[in-house]
Structure 1
Amino acid sequence: MWPAWQGWLWIARSPPPSKLFCRWYHQAGKRDTIFALSSAHGKCGVAVIRTSGPASRSALLCLTGAKEPPPPRAATLRRIRDPSSAETLDRGLVVWFPGPGSFTGEDSAEFHVHGGPAVVSGVLSALGGLPQLRLAEPGEFTKRAFQNGKLDLTAAEGLGDLIHAETEGQRRQALRQMDGDLGQLYRGWSDVLTKALAHLEAYIDFSEDDNIEEGVLAQVENAVKTLETELREHLQDGRRGERLRDGVHVVIAGPTNAGKSSLLNLLCQKPAAIVSPIAGTTRDVVEAALNIGGFPVVLSDTAGLRETDDAVEMEGVSRARQRVSDADLVLAVLDAEDVARRPGQLAPILMDILPPEGPTGGRPCLLVLNKSDLLGEGDRADLLGAGADLGLGSVCLLSCKTRDGIGAFVQALQGQLAQMCGDPLAGCPSPTQARHRLCLTRCLEALGRFGHFRLLDLALAAEGLRQARRQLGHLTGHVGAEEILALIFKDFCIGK
């Protein structure tokens, strides 16, 4: 009895049209034409208004009064008129992008006009008065680009990240993801699973007939083991991509009156937190988003850690300890003069800030000894030695009052951030969102089910591979079974 899929063999003999063309042809006559202002709102030198959909050509002709659109992808100066009144709205550049050779894969047009609010409003009103045109929903241009096969999901996410990038590191990572590096990696793993699944299903169907090459099952097992190793290494990256995308959470913690709020104000270069000689001034968490050396940082100043009977301050201390527990990096700020008087207490003080796994609490920590202007030269050397004895990689002596040592501290902080975020352009791309990590973790779990069932039931083992492949498909937005059929016909020899 031949498997059902063999009845489709005749389809594989005739080359199909490209998927992009099929999608574009199928959808062109069914979709609305959308339009929107693509540049920023407000006054500007040039504003870009774009359309996408089957009525883009007629909209371009109506607003320019031309009989034919300009040459594709060539900026042409035209007078732009309101079709309902023939009133001239502006003189600007128009660009015609016939589908499927456009960003969305559909017919598209762009109007580059002067960026005054009256001009932009007039052009948008003129487009809105045309039949079959409507205002685009948020993200709809990118959504259509994905649906038409111009972008996969990871590239679309990279585009969104690039638009919101505020630091050099974020820009580099987003641009690499938008260029398809992350999607290419995941598609490569999906291809490995597709081939393994195709071979395993063929083995299940034909092994009893001696029509299968020897060693096929061993090849599948080796491919799955290699993929498991690569997935684990990919996930064990210290969340570099997510930290670079969302910001490294840096928490300033320490006892009262150590200079935590003063350090926050110096880094922010503005009075973000109240500074007072009264102990316990800071009661709540004060946050600031910063760009430090090209890396995004969410910096939090917290309440001074001490025993207190004040209910409000107790809540502030509780929130401070929770922030320390959730932090990516802790700046432990201490009074240098106080530590110099009792250097043997440095380890217990740090353990109180970062419990319970040793002096650094098992997480990256940068020890900051403030008020260094009150120390003698001998005290400075003793404090640096005490920090080195505890195995602390970086100990920063500084004075928020005189700003002495601030440059060295910022340089040490940048080094920590660079180590935690890495170079987004070097090596294998990292997952950048929790969605990526969740799908990859589920993929690993499914591969584990393959390993569990491969000696018990090959059908259940194959289901494990299907589930793993489905999780990788969720990452890029490509989930289907046609690739397995294609590989069975093309890559695997049946009845040699």
Structure 2
Amino acid sequence: MFALSSGPPPAGVAVIRLSGTGVFDIVRRITGSRRLPPAREARLRTLYRPADHAPLDQALVLIFPGPNSFTGEDSAELHCHGSPATVSAVQAALSALGARPAEAGEFTRRAFESGRLDLTQVEALSDLIAAETDLQRDQALAQAGGRLRDLAESWRDQLVALMADIEAQLDFSDEGDVESAGTHAEALRAGPLAALAASMATALEGAAIAERIRHGLVIAVTGPPNAGKSSLINSLARRDVAIVTPHAGTTRDVIEVHLDLGGLPALLLDTAGLRETEDPIEAEGIARARARASTADLVLDLGPGGNVVNRIDESGDAPGFHSGRLHISARTGAGLPELEAWLADWASARIPSGEPPAVTTARQQHLIEAALEAVRSALLHRDPVLMAEDLRTAAHALGRLSGRIDPEVVLGAIFSRFCIGK
């Protein structure tokens, strides 16, 4: 399979990635050379059209033998010139040589299937590609580096060890050197199991912060028609994203704009002007505006008595904060630096600095909550059989977290740690 891995042409350079069985033979044929470049070393080669051996481009060619590649398979990259004609011709040549276009996300899927990535790292790669602020990038990089994977594997290793201990007590309690299963279960509740539950609970505390980092703090701009909401949105976004006219009811639906507030992500909402109307379309827009504003982290109200006073270029008011309200002119920009600085301070107070959270998606949160619930249930049991079943449930949830579930791992741990076999 192959795909354009860089941005769409035209561009200075286009990177076409290949992966799968027979990739190196395709590289030999498209370069007209039986000699491959040394692994992970770029070499300048001419690319040829298979049908008539006409030259297509001069490109840097790299090969990555599996399993030490991103996908775990034999892979290659062609760094050619990024014109539409060149990219199209090279892709056509690859198709003629038997390669097929990759499906969406197929390279990453093969990396997961080959064990090069787990599901938490796959999610992190998606977040890293979509990152618009420094904080989003830092969080995605930490996750892509295996932060949650390592933590979850540590939890699961502890669960496996605890299950192995309990099952050993159950199966071999008649041995003189093995304490009773009930006594051992009490010891587990008092020590390692309680510590494990506390560790999971601590990791979950950052989930809400991580979700805000991924999607941004939500700021709704509200007010009556012609209050200057769309003009303010355009000024903060530094581009025309909302239509501005003197006619009331121009904004009919909620417009979303992503902002970078000093490295912190925010989602700015331009809402329909709040007023009574007989127009069913405008009424629907107003209903949506009220619904979104009710769930926003912050509302900038440009209405009478609101927290933002616009159009000071018409009233003659001085820009800045007066009597708890911020006076601005979205048209001239007066007071906007004060507003942006205030928004950045407000955002930083809600997203604390420090190490990025470990749990970053709703899927991860759900599975760790399921694991924690099972561990807490195990803490309540006096019956070691029920305790072991709860621990098995917790381990299963953590296995789903990474996408790797191996029910035989408990059996392996028992025989590796205890010399009690037949």
Q: Displacement of 1:95 after TM fit?
A: 1.0
Report if aligned partners of 2:142, 2:356 keep a CA contact under 8 Å in 1: no
In structure 2, what is the Cα distance between the partners aligned to 1:372 and 1:430? 45
Residue of structure 1 equivalent to 2:6: 39
Q: Displacement of 1:77 after TM fit?
A: 1.4
Match of 2:185 among 217, 228, 241: 217
Identity over the aligned pairs, expressed in percent? Answer: 44
Residue of structure 2 equivalent to 1:287: 256
Question: Would the alpha carbon gap of residues 193 and 368 (structure 1) be closer, same or farther in structure 2, given more than 3 Å must change?
Answer: farther
* Matching residue's letter, 2:373: E
Report if aligned partners of 1:81, 1:90 keep a CA contact under 8 Å in 2: yes
Residue of structure 1 equivalent to 2:404: 478
Matches within 5 A, 1:404-419: 404-419=334-349
Report if aligned partners of 2:143, 2:358 keep a CA contact under 8 Å in 1: no
Q: Displacement of 1:213 after TM fit?
A: 5.2
Q: How many residues align?
A: 416
In structure 2, what is the Cα distance between the partners aligned to 1:286 and 1:370? 20
State the SS of the aligned residue for 1:135. Answer: coil
Residue of structure 2 equivalent to 1:173: 139
Q: Does 1:252 align with 2:221?
A: yes
Residue of structure 1 equivalent to 2:391: 465
In structure 2, what is the Cα distance between the partners aligned to 1:306 and 1:459? 64
Q: Displacement of 1:486 after TM fit?
A: 3.2
Residue of structure 1 equivalent to 2:413: 487
Question: Would the alpha carbon gap of residues 415 and 67 (structure 1) be closer, same or farther in structure 2, given more than 3 Å must change?
Answer: same
Residue of structure 2 equivalent to 1:429: 357
Question: Would the alpha carbon gap of residues 238 and 60 (structure 1) be closer, same or farther in structure 2, given more than 3 Å must change?
Answer: closer
Q: Displacement of 1:143 after TM fit?
A: 1.0
* Matching residue's letter, 1:181: R
Report if aligned partners of 2:224, 2:275 keep a CA contact under 8 Å in 1: yes
Residue of structure 1 equivalent to 2:333: 403
Give the unaligned 5+ runs of structure 1. 1-33, 340-348, 350-366, 385-394
Q: Does 1:65 align with 2:5?
A: no
Task: Give the stretch that moved more between structures: 282-291 or 38-47.
Answer: 282-291
Q: Give CA-to-partner distance per residue, 1:62-105, whole Å, 9 cap, x none.
A: 22232332211111112222334222222221112111111111
Q: Give CA-to-partner distance per residue, 1:147-205, whole Å, 9 cap, x none.
A: 11111111122122222222222222222221212222222222222222222222222
Report if aligned partners of 2:206, 2:357 keep a CA contact under 8 Å in 1: no
Q: Displacement of 1:370 after TM fit?
A: 4.1
In structure 2, what is the Cα distance between the partners aligned to 1:51 and 1:481? 35
Question: Would the alpha carbon gap of residues 415 and 69 (structure 1) be closer, same or farther in structure 2, given more than 3 Å must change?
Answer: same
In structure 1, what is the Cα distance between the partners aligned to 2:125 and 2:196? 28
State the SS of the aligned residue for 2:358. Answer: coil
Q: Displacement of 1:208 after TM fit?
A: 4.0
* Matching residue's letter, 2:188: V
In structure 2, what is the Cα distance between the partners aligned to 1:281 and 1:171? 36
Q: Displacement of 1:288 after TM fit?
A: 2.3
Report if aligned partners of 1:264, 1:301 keep a CA contact under 8 Å in 2: yes
Alignment RMSD: 3.0
Question: Would the alpha carbon gap of residues 188 and 303 (structure 1) be closer, same or farther in structure 2, given more than 3 Å must change?
Answer: same
Residue of structure 1 equivalent to 2:270: 301
Residue of structure 2 equivalent to 1:368: 308
Q: Displacement of 1:55 after TM fit?
A: 0.7
Question: Would the alpha carbon gap of residues 89 and 371 (structure 1) be closer, same or farther in structure 2, given more than 3 Å must change?
Answer: closer
Give the unaligned 5+ runs of structure 2. none
Q: Displacement of 1:372 after TM fit?
A: 5.9
Residue of structure 2 equivalent to 1:12: none
In structure 1, what is the Cα distance between the partners aligned to 2:384 and 2:199? 24
Report if aligned partners of 1:94, 1:112 keep a CA contact under 8 Å in 2: yes
State the SS of the aligned residue for 2:44. Answer: strand
Match of 1:321 among 275, 290, 295: 290
In structure 2, what is the Cα distance between the partners aligned to 1:230 and 1:471? 16
In structure 1, what is the Cα distance between the partners aligned to 2:112 and 2:225? 53
Question: Would the alpha carbon gap of residues 255 and 444 (structure 1) be closer, same or farther in structure 2, given more than 3 Å must change?
Answer: farther
State the SS of the aligned residue for 1:244. Answer: helix
Report if aligned partners of 2:122, 2:144 keep a CA contact under 8 Å in 1: yes
Residue of structure 2 equivalent to 1:10: none
Match of 1:54 among 17, 21, 29: 21
Q: Displacement of 1:129 after TM fit?
A: 2.1
Report if aligned partners of 1:199, 1:220 keep a CA contact under 8 Å in 2: no
Question: Would the alpha carbon gap of residues 198 and 302 (structure 1) be closer, same or farther in structure 2, given more than 3 Å must change?
Answer: same
State the SS of the aligned residue for 2:344. Answer: helix
* Matching residue's letter, 1:112: H
State the SS of the aligned residue for 1:209. Answer: coil
Question: Would the alpha carbon gap of residues 207 and 398 (structure 1) be closer, same or farther in structure 2, given more than 3 Å must change?
Answer: farther
Q: Displacement of 1:444 after TM fit?
A: 2.2
What is the TM-score when the length of structure 1 is the normalising length? 0.75
What is the TM-score when the length of structure 2 is the normalising length? 0.87
In structure 1, what is the Cα distance between the partners aligned to 2:8 and 2:151? 37
Report if aligned partners of 1:93, 1:112 keep a CA contact under 8 Å in 2: yes
Residue of structure 2 equivalent to 1:141: 107
Question: Would the alpha carbon gap of residues 154 and 399 (structure 1) be closer, same or farther in structure 2, given more than 3 Å must change?
Answer: same
In structure 2, what is the Cα distance between the partners aligned to 1:219 and 1:493? 22
